[in-house]
Amino acid sequence: MPFKALWVTETKSGTFERKIVDRYIDDLPPGEVLIRVQYSSLNYKDALSATGNKGITREFPHTPGIDAAGVVEISRNENFAVGDEVLVTGYDLGMNTCGGFGQYIRIPAAWVVKKPETLSFKECMTIGTAGFTAASALYKMQLMRRLPEHGPIVVTGASGGVGSLSVALLSKAGYEVIAVSGKSNAQDYLQHLGAERVENRNFVNDDSMKALIRPRWAGAIDTVGGNTLATLLKGCRPEGCVVSTGLVGSPKLATTVYPFILNGVNLLGIGSAETPMSVRLMIWEKMAGDWNIKDKLAAIGKEVSLQELNESCIDAILNGKIMGRIVVNLSLV
């Protein structure tokens, strides 16, 4: 039987079109595990792929979706059995391997994680790559011994996917969170997630040209890049940790070495797609246990159909119009 998938094609004129089409299992790339996808989620990278960004997806036609959660239908690997509930985030899924915006995926077993029992498919995809990135940032910060008693942590782009989940996870872990957002209507939402303060973008946009400014935060999780990241570094308290997770503002970073050599500030990076499986499993275990934010996920995730995803959500996330996470129910076409 055919299954539904979002299909992005390149026209002869070099433009890109996307629509919901029928595909077949035989159309999928080779792999050890066939998964019937229950839920996926929308990430900024998915929207880039869906609009033809060759830096994300080299060849079209293609089905985006770097996240997927569902049930194993066929397995040629001893670690997974038919009927297992599993999830996939990252690796090459949705980039150059047909992804979670289709009702079936076929992938290497090395990409697959068994779904935590305490989380539903929808909750796993509300977390998805965005939440995994946020949890990885918190994990690295704690490895550097930056603890709640050291002071507040700034989260930039706080109303977006990574930002929303960072606010909730940091609050759950006992940190004082300063949420920074350009959305004027985000205050109640961010305070519900656990932010103690909500500031606008100017709070982390220093244009004084000074190498250092008065230290006001113990660390940060940044999704913006550019001058925002530079400001976070030079305004960080000694031995603080600033984690870079995104570039929605700019991929460039103009700064000096002074935050590092005078204040001992640590700039940490997250490349969640290629996280080793041992670390990946540990982080999902934390999100199902000590860092469980089930009580906040309903506020973060908005459920849509595959058609709604195509018609409105992809363009909206590229234009900065999405608050929280878009969760795609693959049973709703």
Please give the pLDDT value at position 155.
98
Are 93 and 105 in contact, with CB atoms under 8 Å apart? yes
Which residues are CB-neighbours of 249 under 8 A, at least 6 positions away? 224, 225, 226, 227, 228
Query: Mind listing the pLDDT tens digit for each residue in 94-139?
Result: 999 999 999 999 999 999 999 999 999 999 999 999 999 999 999 9
State whether residue 123 is helix, strand or coil. Answer: helix
Element (H, E) at 284: helix 277-288
Please give the pLDDT value at position 332.
87
Burial of 89 (0-12, 13-18, 19+ CB in 10 A): buried
Residues of the chain scoring pLDDT < 70? none
**In this prediction, what percent of the chain has a pLDDT beyond 90?**
97
DSSP at 312: I
Please give the pLDDT value at position 120.
97
Q: Which domains does the chain show, CATH number per domain?
A: 3-115+300-329 (3.90.180.10), 129-272 (3.40.50.720)
The Cβ of residue 253 has, within 10 Å, a number of other Cβ atoms equal to 15
State whether residue 139 is helix, strand or coil. Answer: helix
Mean pLDDT, the chain, rounded, equals 96
Query: Mind listing the pLDDT tens digit for each residue in 133-183?
Result: 999 999 999 999 999 999 999 999 999 999 999 999 999 999 999 999 999
CA distance 120 to 141: 27
Give phi and psi for 151, each to the nearest 5.
Answer: 130, -175
Which residues are CB-neighbours of 40 under 8 A, at least 6 positions away? 65, 67, 68, 69, 99, 100, 101, 125, 327, 328, 330
Query: pTM of the predicted model, to two decimals?
Result: 0.95
